[in-house]
Amino acid sequence: MTENTSGRSGTVLAEDPAGTVMVMVTVEDLHRSYGSGAATVHALRGVSFEIPRGALVALKGRSGSGKTTLLNLVGGLDTPDSGRITVDGTELVGLGEKGLLELRRDRVGFIFQSFGLIPILTAAENVGVPLRLCRADPAERDERVALLLSLVGLADHAEQRPGELSGGQQQRVAIARALANRPALLIADEPTGQLDAETGLAVMELLRAVVRSENVTALVATHDPQLLGLADRVLELSDGHIVEHG
């Protein structure tokens, strides 16, 4: 696949030596249904697309269109009924729970609408949780945590707990935590859904900056038209189908 290597946001997409844009995510003819008989819900009906490395891609669609289902499949949190998913060169279908666990731990970072921070831990301790789980060297862990808090503009709030931070600040901590293990792919499900418009825009601009500075690819579900304008590409889901590539 070849294309312009400069996204709308100024992101430079990764290329191989031949000048071809490298692909981070490939989804082919993906199907996922829930329930059975007359109660069957067809969440995804033959979805296919590619995401180049280094891109910020927005996924839009009304409630119930299949956005969260698609994010869960790409992130290895769910398995499709049929179709193929490849993330960072690894095919997910048939990978097994151990392989999916390693993929989520080492190569995929998740950001959710609800923040998901641990209330009794400070901002720095929350960001450091993934590094503790993989038993990173304490000195390297502390250095990485400090770097990430600085990256998201919270260096002066490292010792504050979630209850002492605003919603926007909590989401910034969640972004820093998602980046702790240097993931290749960042998946965000309505990350600005609990924030006011101004704070949400600031968080989305931060995600765009993180894509550049951390050399990460991002797939972000959002319904806010203002935020969609910050993406390199927009995918729209409607009734389980991709209906638009922007």
E strand or H helix that includes residue 47 = strand 41-52
Task: Name residue 245's beta-bridge partners.
Answer: 235
Largest CA distance in the chain: 57
Asked if 222 and 204 touch (Cβ cutoff 8 Å), the reply is yes
The span from the CA of 43 to the CA of 56, in Å, is 24
Residue 38 pLDDT more than 70?
A: yes
Comparing 31 with 229, which gets the higher pLDDT?
31
Q: What is the pLDDT of residue 245?
A: 59
The residues, any chain, with a CB within 8 Å of residue 91's CB and separated by 6 or more, are 84, 85
Complete edge-to-edge strand list for the sheet that includes strand 23-34: 41-52, 23-34, 82-87, 90-91
Asked if 27 and 50 touch (Cβ cutoff 8 Å), the reply is yes
| pLDDT band, very low/low/confident/very high, at 246 (cuts 50, 70, 90) | low
Q: What is the pLDDT of residues 192-232, one digit of tens each?
A: 888 888 888 888 888 888 888 888 999 999 887 777 888 99
Q: Please tell me the number of Cα atoms within 13 Å of 105 on its side-chain side.
A: 14
Q: What is the pLDDT of residues 114-171, one digit of tens each?
A: 888 999 999 999 999 999 988 889 999 999 999 999 999 999 999 999 999 999 999 9
Residue 9 pLDDT more than 50?
A: no
Structure-token pair, residue 84: 């193929």
Complete edge-to-edge strand list for the sheet that includes strand 56-60: 108-112, 185-189, 217-221, 56-60, 233-238, 241-245
Structure-token pair, residue 71: 């994010």
Asked if 32 and 78 touch (Cβ cutoff 8 Å), the reply is yes
Q: What is the pLDDT of residue 207?
A: 85
Q: What is the pLDDT of residues 169-179, one digit of tens each?
A: 999 999 999 99
E strand or H helix that includes residue 187 = strand 185-189
Q: What is the pLDDT of residues 49-99, one digit of tens each?
A: 999 999 999 999 888 788 999 999 999 999 999 999 999 999 998 888 999
Q: How far is CA 30 from each of CA 48, 91, 223, rounded to the nearest angstrom?
A: 7, 13, 22
The span from the CA of 12 to the CA of 195, in Å, is 29
Residue 104 pLDDT more than 70?
A: yes
- C-alpha Rg value of the chain to the nearest Å: 18
What phi, psi does 68 have (nearest 5°)? -65, -40
What phi, psi does 166 have (nearest 5°)? -75, 170
Q: Where are the alpha helices (DSSP H) in the chain?
A: 67-74, 97-106, 123-133, 138-151, 167-178, 197-213, 225-228
Q: What is the pLDDT of residue 244?
A: 64
pTM for the model: 0.85
